[in-house]
A and B are shown apart, each in its own frame.
Chain A
Amino acid sequence: MTKVIIDANQSIFKLNLRELFSYKDLFYTLAYRDFKIKYAQTFLGIVWAFIQPALTLMVFGLLFSRGLNIGTGEVPYLLYAGCGLATWTYFAAVMGQAGNSIIAAQNIVQKIYFPRLIIPLSKALVGLIDFAIALGLVFILALFYKFKLSPNVVFLPFFILLTIVSSLGVGIWLSALSIRYRDFQQVIPFLVRFGMFFTPVAYPPDIIIKKIPQWGAIIYYLNPVAGLIEGVRWCVLGTSPPVFLSYISFAMIFLLFVSSLFYFKKVEKVIADIV
């Protein structure tokens, strides 16, 4: 028989991960719901996950490679930008959905208890399909260019995991903050749009880093996705391994994720009262 103790003096350092795990079926069901709703009643269905990155890459190629003449060394530009785009798109989508998730689920949250963290966490799963398709597109393009993929690709799962963790870290922070301060609902779309310019998605980071002072570069790499994208490129395309500055990004991922869990825990107590 289950035994539950609700104590007002409970320590906020207890994350109660075992309870979270017992709700894993809810996690999958919520993810399935999101998947179904996303593609329900669309004529092309999952094909959209292919069309969107393909068209965006075409525009990038036209704009940055042909138009602005941005060089990416021996790697064809479309492959270079493709890796960045796939990672950023996943990050932005999960961050946005997770960030809005608690407010979107307020009618459930006010009526029934389950570990609230399940809601933003479940957003990470559906995006993986799009992520995989976008990366698949890069592999197809590599075949087309007769580009030999790097053997580093065995490390790709590790970087995908890091991408998941980083997007959840930011997403959970935003979801908890937007409960307290609705202003953060306005911040999310802004971050998605603005963030892409400050992330080396469509260009190599060098073209900025070389032109700004050291402290500027450090700020640039506080963006967790900056180092991530370099990592993904190193895995898939065999570009130079992540620079030292990238480790700032990796540290940020860890910091954001762990702190988000505790901040969420703190806000979780009052969700039903203020949502």
Chain B
Amino acid sequence: MSEIAIDVQNLSKKYLIGNTASGSLRESITNLFSKNKWSATEEFWALKDLTFDVKTGEAIGIIGKNGAGKSTLLKLLSRITEPTTGRIEINGRISSLLEVGTGFHPELTGRENIYLNGTILGMTRQEINSKFDEIVDFSGVEKFLDTPVKRYSSGMKVRLAFAVAAHLEPEILIIDEVLAVGDAEFQKKCLGKMEDVAGHGRTIFFVSHNMGAINTLCHRGILLQNGKMVYSGETDEVISRYLEQNYSGSHEGSVNFEPNFDHKITMIKASVSAESKAGNDKIQAGENVEICVEYKVKQDLVGSNLSVSLFKEGILILRNWDTDKFPEYLEKRKGGTYTAKFVIPSSFLTLGQYSVSLATGIINQGPIEVKSDCLSFEIENHYDDLSKTSNNKGKGGLVNLPITWEIRNS
């Protein structure tokens, strides 16, 4: 078996923005006669000079903001589109979970669709025959095998499609945020199957906005920004660089919103700081973290609330509603301007970067304003006496609680 599963060299992909590329016959003919051939188009490099390799059995996470080039990279790897320059060498069968159920035809029966979908994915009929019973077992639709798929529930369809994809047994698996679709149970099943695959020495290529999933699944990460590789290395480091990149700019210790006074409740500004010192987004471990939100209520409201959510590396750590503490505000909140203060108790948080999301809403009517990742702060440690092992950076764990230990030497 070859050591390198995927070898990518100087990979670039150019798109032409404008409408000439897919244009009409008329445009092509006029282009033929005009000197300025690409007058209406502009070049856009979705990927530029990417070079990296992935070893066999490695799970690698691709991280980046929307438009960083993640999907283009996956499209190139799965050969849906061809690169403008550069070269990719792939050792082993590659399959992507992004195409779950591709080619399913509603008029065909479940059995026929297994063959159709399987051959589209690159299996031979013989391979499908040998795995047929397993696929049917996994999908749990054996009763309806000879029923046209158009009579299936959407859940049955997804299960059948996933069963086929899961039994493809590729050496390299590409996963592009499939976890965003399907219910919780299905997501769990996908993740389980992926861990399964990873455990069998297969190579995984994972793209997701779910930092938690990337962190648990991947050994290594690649951070993309504007089509270029900014960093590649340990998953932890890649994630924290990604988060830094996200919070640089307007996301700081305090933020002024653009309030919309037509809303029933509108947020004006918010800040995060150590309880003692205002306006500092670096917080000494052990100090209380204080989040202040100023908001305006247009008129007397019933059922309104404000929620604070705290994330670390994309994982929700806690979410809290002001009405839990003050139920009287749920019954009635008078018009006017308010300042709410939310204090996270001392030493509950481990070292690292955090982000805060705020939301206002009315019960049973849904949210009014949602400010995702509007604040960020970092817990640091400057004092030696607090640098106990449990609180060290990189020791893992999301929270730091005063645990009671009992040690007996008998």
Contact = CB atoms under 8 A, between A and B. Distances in A.
B98 A111 contact: yes
Interface in A137-187: 180-184
Contacts of A111: 80, 98-99, 102
B49 interface: no
Interface stretch (A1-9, A62-70, A212-220): A1-9
A30 B102 CA distance: 13
Interface in B84-124: 84-94, 96, 98-99, 102-103, 105, 107-108, 112, 115-116, 119-124
A270 interface: yes
Contacts of B403: none
A110 interface: yes
Contacts of B107: 36-37, 40-41
A258 B121 CA distance: 28
B91 A1 contact: yes
Nearest to B105: A33
A52 interface: no
Nearest to B117: A29
A107 interface: yes
Contact of A107 (B92, B96, B102): B102
B399 to A, nearest CB: 41
Interface string A1-45: 111111111000000000000010110111011001100110000
B22 interface: yes
Contact of B2 (A1, A8, A114, A183): A1
Nearest to B80: A272
Nearest to A108: B103
A114 B78 CA distance: 10
A49 B316 CA distance: 62
Given A2-B93, A6-B87, A37-B107, A274 B21 contact: yes
Given A40-B107, A273-B15, A8 B87 contact: yes
Contact of B28 (A3, A25, A114, A181): A181
Interface in A81-108: 107-108
Contact of B124 (A4, A8, A25, A113): A25
B87 A1 contact: no
A118 B274 CA distance: 64
A183 B24 CA distance: 7
Contacts of A274: 21-22
B76 interface: yes
Given A8-B84, A37-B107, A40-B107, A114 B92 contact: no
A243 interface: no
A112 B116 CA distance: 13
A112 B99 contact: yes
A46 B221 CA distance: 56
Interface size class of A (residues with CB under 8 A): 35 or more
B91 A3 contact: yes
B43 to A, nearest CB: 14
Given A111-B99, A112-B120, A269 B82 contact: yes
A175 to B, nearest CB: 15
Interface string B281-293: 0000000000000
Contact of B92 (A1, A7, A25): A1
Given A1-B2, A3-B89, A272-B75, A114 B22 contact: no
Given A36-B107, A114-B122, A6 B76 contact: yes
Interface in A56-85: none
Contact of B108 (A33, A109, A269): A33
A112 B21 contact: no
B24 A6 contact: no
Contacts of A108: 102-103, 120
A23 B122 CA distance: 7
B96 A25 contact: no
Given A33-B116, A274-B22, A6 B80 contact: no
A26 B115 CA distance: 9
B152 to A, nearest CB: 16
Interface in A234-275: 269-270, 272-275
A112 B102 contact: yes
Q: What are the nearest 8 A-B pairs in CB distance?
A: A113-B79, A274-B22, A26-B119, A6-B88, A111-B99, A181-B25, A4-B90, A183-B25
Interface of A: 1-9, 23, 25-26, 28-30, 32-33, 36-37, 40-41, 107-114, 180-184, 269-270, 272-275
Interface of B: 1-2, 12, 15, 21-26, 28, 75-76, 78-94, 96, 98-99, 102-103, 105, 107-108, 112, 115-116, 119-125, 171
Given A8-B82, A9-B87, A184-B25, 10 more contacts: A4-B88, A6-B87, A8-B84, A8-B85, A108-B102, A112-B120, A181-B28, A183-B25, A269-B81, A269-B82
